Amino acid sequence: MIYDKDFTHKHKLFTSDIRAAFNYYDGYAAIEAANVLYVKKDLTNEDFLKIARWGITRAIENGDKITELKYIHAAGFHHYKLGNYHKAMLYYAQGIYISETISNPEFTARFQTRIGEISIQQTNYEKALDYYFKVLRIEDVRYCFEVYSNLAEIYREKKDYDTATEYADKAYAYNLKNNNYQHLIRNLIAVGDINFSQQKLGQALSFYSKALKVHYLYPAPFFATLATIRSGKVLFELGHYKESQATYEYAYETCNEYGFKFQQVLTKQKIAETLAKQGNYDKALIINSQALNKARQYEFNLLELHILRDKIQYHEAKEEFDIANALLRNTEALNIALIEKEQIEKLQEIIAEKEKELQFFKTQARAMASTGNDLRQYAKIIAHDLKEPLRTIGSFTSLLKRKYDNAEDEKQEVDEYFNFIMDATHRMGDLLDELLRYVILGIKDKIPTNVDLMATVQQVLKDLDEVIKARNVSINVQQLPTILGQKQQFRELFYHLIHNAIHHNNNKKPVVNITVQRNDMEYLFVVSDNGEGIDSDYFDKVFLIFHKLNKYEKTGTGIGLAMCKKIIELHGGSVWINSTPKKGTSIEFTLKDV
């Protein structure tokens, strides 16, 4: 075991006055010291959780969000190890909210991973996959390596052993390279489980043994307990029931010492199974009853169902059929209750999803209520902007007619007039096309879906790749969220904003930044550049249809920011501009987190 030279000092400090010991350490150091003592069984679960709660309170008082998140994670994970899944979920949900508020992808990924682990424990693999793929979207292995181990477990359950092995190998390689030895124990268990599922029992036992060897050097009691239980399972499958019983009993002692409730009940159940295999049904029933009582006490409903089924088999083996039949009715009632609970949870998820869609459509309805005002604006546009190219065509056609008779002498001038006519005609076509797109925006929308804005922006950057390289633009994009809405509209929104930031930037080293932060129930996005900036007198005008700050500019139609404004409002948000001449411009907008 790795020697901790400060262990004696920590031991004296925490065993004399736990509050004074906590105050002795700054930041997150208190829980790290407490963890060392907990692993060596010199600190109780209650005291460990006290330190975590004190740490959260102190971090809040100091305004230190990162330390607060670390303590929240420590408290949640400790409850998870103890089998207090509901309390763990409360901490994890709080952690996700804070980490998203301060836009910290590392902790967001960490808490999403933990929720996925609880979902696996509850055999809700689809929910777990949903959380894990959210983490994988970050595309940063530092945040994904824990997910790889969990995905290996899910795909093993689905009997997709090749995919399970692929994810297990990824996690193992990363943890070995970065000396994450405690996580390495978990990876070895995952590889052992894959081998066990394929009935490669010798290889499975070898990996569990390796996990325990790493534990002796780098203690991780929770994962070591899992490896011990798995070893007992292999011995059981090989028919070595006495050895299996002894292994489970050793695991049970560890569970008792550290308070791992779920594993405590599980090992009791497994000990009863080994006794039954040895023909000792009376003792098996006693141990089984102890496991059943604990399962009910801790509300491990699914495990309770499995223990009841074992109990029925033991009574049947003793030919106590009346008792077995009575227990069978209890089992059926519990099974129905579990199915109903699962259906209620799924129904609640569906209702929540439909409420999001309803909120989205309400937002669209409010946006469409302004259609009458838009139509009045269209009338003015048609009266002025769309007729202006026609007037140009008329004027130059008249001039061309006058020059017609001596066209040979004035050929160059005639060609120039003709080019003016063609240019005006094309401009009129462009204006009509853009106007039509603006008018129908939001009318023929599809059902909203969850849109990964990070992937959307990456696609836009590919579309603008030539422009970005030609101007040598530096573009910085913060990790963006997934939002319910219209995928194509979001793509168009970011296309116009990024293109606009590049096009109107005369800086020799153009920079475009895209950031986001969560405020209550909405996200605030900022697309900023280091260009010339604009005067505050023009802030309202930039969002008008066909409005250009430079009326002599021939490229573009001047509808891009107007399109952005309408897309944002259709999604229940608002948009505004901040700019300082010579210092750059920021387009800021909100989108509802529905």
Residue pair 556/548 in contact (Cβ under 8 Å)? The answer is yes
Summarize the confidence of residues 375-381 as an average pLDDT. Answer: 54
- C-beta separation of 98 from 68 below 8 A: yes
The rounded distance, in Å, linking the Cα atoms of 148 and 226 is: 18
Tokens of 68: 């607060």
Please give the mean pLDDT across all residues of the chain: 81
Q: Is residue 549 predicted with pLDDT exceeding 60?
A: no
Contacts of 155 (CB under 8 A, 6+ apart): 161, 163, 164, 167
Q: What is the pLDDT of residue 3?
A: 40
Contact 458, 487 (CB under 8 A): no
Query: Which has the higher per-residue pLDDT, 348 or 380?
Result: 348
CATH top-level class of 1-139? mainly alpha
Question: Tens digits of per-residue pLDDT, 258-273?
Answer: 889 899 999 999 999 9
In this model, does residue 237 exceed pLDDT 90? yes
Identify the band that residue 208 occupies on the pLDDT scale cut at 50, 70 and 90. very high
Residue 374 in this model has a pLDDT that exceeds 50: yes
pTM above 0.75, yes or no: no
Tokens 């010492």 correspond to 257
Angle at the Cα of 507 from the Cα atoms of 502 and 509, rounded to 5 degrees? 85
Provide DSSP, 129-158: HHHHHHHHTT--HHHHHHHHHHHHHHHHHT
Alpha helices in 404-545, H assignment, sequence order: 411-440, 453-463, 465-471, 487-503
Long-range CB pairs of 571-578, under 8 A, 24+ apart, other chains included: 571/360, 571/363, 571/483, 571/485, 571/486, 571/489, 572/359, 572/360, 572/363, 572/366, 572/367, 573/522, 575/543, 576/539, 577/534, 577/539, 577/542, 577/543
Backbone angles phi, psi at 198, to 5 degrees: -95, 15
Q: What is the pLDDT of residues 413-465, one digit of tens each?
A: 666 766 676 666 666 666 656 665 666 565 555 667 888 999 999 999 988 88
Q: Which residues of 423-435 are buried (b: 16+ CB within 10 A; e: fewer)?
A: ebeebbeebeebb
Q: Which residue type, as a one-letter code, is found at position 566?
A: K
198 pLDDT higher than 90? yes
Tens digit of pLDDT for each residue in 483-528? 888 888 898 899 989 998 888 888 888 999 999 988 877 899 999 9
How many Cβ atoms are within 10 Å of 381's Cβ, its own excluded? Answer: 17
pLDDT in tens, 387-399: 566 566 666 666 6
* CATH superfamily for domain 447-594: Histidine kinase-like ATPase, C-terminal domain (3.30.565.10)
Comparing 370-440 with 447-594, is the CATH topology the same?
Answer: no
Q: How confident is the model at residue 214 (pLDDT cuts 50, 70, 90)?
A: very high
pLDDT of residue 432: 59
pLDDT (tens digit per residue) in 10-43:
666 766 788 888 888 888 888 888 888 888 778 8
Task: Using only the alpha carbons of the chain, give its radius of gyration.
Answer: 33
In the block, residue with structure tokens 């969220």? 481
pLDDT confidence of residue 1 = 37
Q: Which CATH architecture has domain 370-440?
A: Orthogonal Bundle (1.10)
* pLDDT at residue number 552: 44
Cβ atoms of 402 and 377 closer than 8 Å: no
Alpha-carbon distance of 487 to 438, in angstroms, equals 17
> Are 414 and 407 within 8 A, CB to CB?
yes
Rounded to whole angstroms, the Cα distance separating 178 from 54 reads 31
CA distance 189 to 183: 10
Show me where the domains of the chain are located: 1-139, 370-440, 447-594
DSSP string, 148-192: HHHHHHHHHHTT-HHHHHHHHHHHHHHHHHTT-HHHHHHHHHHHH
467-492 pLDDT, tens digit each: 899 889 999 999 898 888 888 889 88
- Most confident range, picked from 162-171, 199-208, 398-407: 199-208
